[in-house]
Amino acid sequence: MNYLSEMLKLPVLDVDGEKLGVVNDFGIATGEVFPHVTSLAFRGPGKTPFMISWRKWVDRIDETGVHLKTSATEIRFSYLQPTELLLARDVLNKQIVDTQGMKVVRVNDIKFSMSGENQLRLLGAEVGARGLLRAISPALEHVVEGFMKHLGKPLSEDIIAWSYMDLLDRSTKNIQLSVSHKTLGELHPADIADIIEQLDPRLRAQVFAQLDTAQAAEAISEFDDDELMTEMLEGLSDTDASSMLAMMDPDDAADLIDELDYEKAEKLLRLMGVKEEKAIRNLLGYEDNTAGRIMTSEFVSLPATATVGDAIEAIRKLDEDFESVYYVYTEDPSGMLTGVLSLRTLIVADRDATLGQLAYRDLVYVSPDEDQEDVTDEMTKYDLVAIPVCDENRHILGIVTFDDAMDVIAEEHQEDLQIAGVGSGDSASDDSTNVLSWFVHRQYWVVVWGIASCIMATVLGTALSSAHLVVFPMCAMPLVLLAASRMVSFVKNYFLEYDGHDDEPKPYLGFFFQSTGMGLILSLVTYLCAQLVRTAAFPDAPMFEEQLFTGCFNIAAIICLVGNMSAVIYLMVLFWRDEHDLNTSGTAMNVIAVMISCVAYCAAAVLLAMSVIG
């Protein structure tokens, strides 16, 4: 009799053989390699719970029950200590982490070691089928065991030693699980991520919260599921989440922040240090799936006149959480990238040699707007573990490292599998959810267009001589809606990239000229396109049809121009709300701008149609 399932419900008998109750649980002291049982929990008459000290009151345990040393009247009850836990309550049928096998398992039974009549120690958890069968019925276990023996496949035990168990369902902050215990926090971040992804959703946040900030920062960057990353982040306080993001590599932090809504992302960014915030904002300014978006701003560059000793000293002074150093880059006095040295070159070279003499000058680099797939192709072609990202003046902005390239390759491979129709069912489900979310947040203007078109058709249906003329006002409306949406995106990006000081005047005038210039170009293109279509489609059409068609596009051009000219107002609103610590929803701004443009266009188009028909 070595299993918890066999000991539960055993009678508890005093020295005179009087039954006091039935065994309900066992308490153990967790600070040992093989914890010994310290407390006995049992239910007395009327299911009243009792707990007594095992060492002080228990004489022996056998198939007949738990026998006490004294009579019932002399027993004194005790309480569970902070360093103790109850096996049936806290471990049995619960998920645990097997820190040796790097997996999440469920405890089906618990195995003890009995030494003498009074010593009972915990060996480990039974997580296999045999423990599950025993928990259902010992008789069923024996039947299945005999059947498997005849098949030549004995039903073996699957025991995880206590030294390799990590509890999940119960807070263990004040519990020393084992003197040799390898806890969840001591595992590799990738293993922690795999384990958390295996957990029931209700346990994920609880387990993630057990990690310190540095461990959480490393683990969350290893998650494959963007939604799970967001879920873990939103389960933390704003301060903890911001601190965790600041400790991550800037490119990983930018990817995670990009998954959050505008208000949450802004709040977390502004809680960071200035250096970390600026690094992440710079990356967020680049388009998705480009070199600028996946690069890290952490790299080592020195003047070409510096010595090998200077380079080694600079590397020594880097923070522990600095991105892995693969190369040292050299620059001329203007900051232009001139060469690169491998770590091996630095190690074998004389300390007094200058970097310019040793640097490899036939450089391979990419622009920040380069597609991420092209970047990985370049790295593969030239066998690089990191590739610099430079601007048009060859000033280095960051580097794309090998691990980022591998992530891109894995992502593109998964997309290829899904396109080929061999993706997993779960992935398909996730994609469906992401597509719906993407449509609601990015393509809602289609719904606005449809509703507004129906309203205009209702208003103009009786006034227009031909039903097909209702289509003319509908044709130009998407230009207006998309222009409004893109205008808000431009305002948000400008606001995020702005790095001026609070005491400096805001660049409203410069921004006004930029947005107005964009509006003029868009309006001109809209007008010219309308004229080309008019010439090709209305050679012999009645004059009022031609006027209605070109008039609608002219209205669209004017509204696009006015909308871009008003972009400075949205920028003022963002700065004002930011100065007053007010959160601003980017989606709300987008919807407001689209609706204003929609109403203005519909009103003008209806008035135009009425005047043309006369």
414 falls in which pLDDT band (50, 70, 90)? Answer: low
Direct distance between the N- and C-terminal alpha carbons of the chain, in angstroms, rounded to an integer: 100
Most confident of 111-120, 398-407, 526-535: 398-407
Q: What are 287's two structure tokens?
A: 């388009």
Which pLDDT score is estimated for 334? 92
Please, which pLDDT band fits residue 119 given cuts at 50, 70 and 90? confident
Question: Which among 494, 487, 438 is positioned nearest to 285, based on CA atoms?
Answer: 494
Cα separation, 195 vs 424, whole angstroms:
20
- Closest C-alpha to 445, from 591, 604, 602, 262: 591
Helix (H) or strand (E) holding 109: strand 109-115
CB atoms within 10 A of CB 255: 22
- What are the tens digits of pLDDT across the range 216-273? 888 888 887 777 888 888 878 888 888 888 888 888 888 888 888 888 888 889 888 8
Instruction: Find the helix packing angle between 508-537 and 567-579, rounded to 10°.
Output: 150
Rounded Cα gap, residues 123 and 163, in angstroms: 9
* Average pLDDT of span 280-291: 88
Kindly state the tokens that stand for 479: 């230009």
The per-residue pLDDT for range 558-579, each reduced to its tens digit, is: 999 999 999 999 888 888 877 7
Rounded Cα gap, residues 565 and 575, in angstroms: 17
- Distance of alpha carbon 366 from alpha carbon 470, whole angstroms: 50
The size of the chain, in residues, is 614
Q: Any idea what the Cα angle at residue 407 is, between residues 403 and 412, rounded to 5°?
A: 150
38-68: pLDDT as tens digits:
899 998 888 888 889 888 888 888 888 999 9
Residue 175 CB neighbour total at 10 angstroms: 17
CB 251 within 8 A of CB 295: yes
User: Taking the complete model, does pTM exceed 0.85, yes or no?
Assistant: no
Percent of the chain with pLDDT over 70: 80
- Helix, strand, coil shares of the chain as percentages rounded to 5? 55, 15, 30
C-alpha angle with apex 177: 174 to 178, nearest 5 degrees? Answer: 135
pLDDT range class, residue 115, cuts 50, 70, 90: low
Q: Which residue has the higher pLDDT, 115 or 142?
A: 142
User: What does the alpha-carbon distance between residue 14 and residue 16 come to, in Å, rounded to a whole number?
Assistant: 5
**pLDDT above 60 for 586:** yes
Please report the pLDDT score of residue 99 as a whole number. Answer: 56
pLDDT in tens, 475-484: 888 888 889 8
Domains detected in the chain:
4-93+107-146 (2.30.30.240), 184-285 (1.25.60.10), 300-411 (3.10.580.10), 443-613 (1.10.357)
Query: pLDDT category, 179, cuts 50, 70, 90?
Result: very low
Q: Which of 199, 246, 253 lies closest to 221 in space, CA to CA? A: 253
* Calpha distance 544→608 (Å, rounded): 11
Of 172, 188, 43, 212, nearest in space to 102 by CA? 188
